[in-house]
Amino acid sequence: MRAAAMLRAMNYTLRGLEPKLFESLFHLDDKALAARGMRWMSVDEPVGFPCRISLEDAPVGERVLLLPFVHQDSHSPYRASGPIFVRPAIHEARRITGELPPYLTRRLLSVRAYDAKDDMVDAEVIDGAAAAPLIERYLARDEVTYLHLHFARRGCYACRVDRP
């Protein structure tokens, strides 16, 4: 019973990406973006263009930048990159503590646990609506330093999760 109470009491913080990482890209023309493997897209569906800064789906009609991003920038075998969307109108990285936003709960997620050496020590695919207990369980383990959440179907990086 004590372990279950500890799990319920554990908290976590989701971290959006810092907008400063992308500010210089927002002013490039289409040709310069294409040379970097990037492009603007118009949001035409209410779900499907998840912004990694705001940790929410971009609204229909907005423009988002699709770009490659190194989300696991380490010297371990788990160094990784993939495509992400970012919104130029978002000027502050979102932090969410103790809850999962619809951006995550409406999708199938891959939850990946990493240690201090950036080695993956565990992973599981789970419905986003049921992911909170798994996140708390992973973060309760001593060898786990942080988590990465990915959208399981396309494999794209969603956000980082840390203890608060």
Per-residue pLDDT tens for 5-21?
Answer: 344 446 899 999 999 99
Q: Enter the pTM of the model.
A: 0.90
- Average pLDDT of the chain, as a whole number: 93
Name the strands in the sheet holding 146-151, side by side, starting at the edge strand that comes first in the sequence: 95-97, 13-15, 156-162, 146-151, 108-114, 120-127
Q: What pLDDT digit, counting tens, does each position of 63-110 carry?
A: 999 999 999 999 899 999 999 999 999 999 999 999 999 999 999 999
Q: What percent of the chain has pLDDT over 70?
A: 94
| Residue among 5, 21, 161, 14 nearest 84 (CA) | 21
- 73: domain range? 2-162
Number of domains in the chain: 1
